[in-house]
Amino acid sequence: MTLEQANEAALKAASAGDMDALEYALRARAEAIRNLVPLEPEGLRRAIAAGESIHRELRAFKNRAANLRSALATSLESHIDFLG
């Protein structure tokens, strides 16, 4: 898998919250970066920018998961209170 393909796969997996696909894509991305030796400056800039995009997607996923967890806890508490 090329670096560009791995970056795209990692972004899609992070956006979808698919942790298995994300792990696979990040491993492929690491391998692609290792294969870019010697890494030209522009390639390095693209790799860093893509990594930052993946990081932002993961942060957004983490926030969505936390919000879902909070909403679920609130819903369960309301349901338990209703049952007495």
Helix (H, G, I), strand (E, B) or coil at 18: coil
For the segment 23-44, the average pLDDT, to the nearest whole number, is 82
Average of per-residue pLDDT across 20-34: 89
Q: What does the pLDDT look like over 35-80, one tens digit per residue?
A: 876 667 787 788 888 888 888 888 888 898 899 999 998 888 777 7
Indicate if the pLDDT at residue 26 is higher than 60. Answer: yes
**pLDDT for position 41:** 79
What residues does each domain of the chain span?
3-83
- pLDDT > 80? residue 24: yes
pLDDT at 33 over 90: no
- Report phi then psi at 81, rounded to 5: -60, -40
- Residue of 17, 18, 21 lying closest to 1 (CA atoms): 21
Mean pLDDT (whole number) for 10-29: 90
